[in-house]
Amino acid sequence: MRIILLSVLLFALLVSPSRADSDDGVDENLTYVTCGSAIKFRHIKSGYRLHSHKITYGSGSGQQSVTGFPNADDPNSLWAIKGAYQKPCLQGTVLKNGDIIRLQHLATKRNMHSHLHKSPLTQQNEVSCFAEGEEGDTGDNWRIISGSEKWTRGQNIRLQHVDTGAYLQANPKAQFQSPIPGQLEICGYPSIHVDNEWANDEGIYFPERTDKE
């Protein structure tokens, strides 16, 4: 299954959308983040990428863990942007401040999720990956908080979990040991803080839709 997923991703890179790496050049047709794009989120304070894998939490929900990963080139840090639970978003739709989205981990197909289980290191709200595709629930919904009307590539944003009101956060001092040494805990934090700022850098971006259908 992993080979198939990576093959699909490679096809997407070569054929359909456009790719943005860490250079400063931005195609004028790819100024905004759109539905269907697969991107990496960089934590502003630490530089780590939002990440997941098939390793589950040993406490709390026991669901698939979400962490901060130090390297930029790991495919397990790619997240596909989808519409809110039971509210599909057409590919290429420009996302705006206040829009509600889901983030599907590209490698495992599970949705980034949160709830009131305690995170293992800081005892904030746990963030996990749970359910595949459309089998999730409203716990998969995240609100975009940006400083402009439209979500611009490279812009600093926050992601607020809709059900709990908590903000997606990484604490550079909260590092796991075995079996994922050096990776950061990702949690939901109850208020705005310097540790819950993110930006999107590398990724596979779909151009803005031009039709209104």
- What does pLDDT average to over the chain? 88
Element (H, E) at 143: strand 142-146
Residue 136 per-residue DSSP state: -
Q: How many residues does the chain have?
A: 213
Query: 43 to each of 89, 114, 145, 147, 150, how far by Cα in Å?
Result: 25, 18, 15, 17, 20
What pLDDT score does 126 carry?
98
Average the pLDDT over 106-110 and give the result. Answer: 96
What pLDDT score does 12 carry?
41
- Cα atoms in the 13 Å half-sphere on the side-chain side of 210: 3
User: What's the pLDDT band for 88 if we cut at 50, 70, 90?
Assistant: very high
Regarding pTM above 0.75, the answer is yes
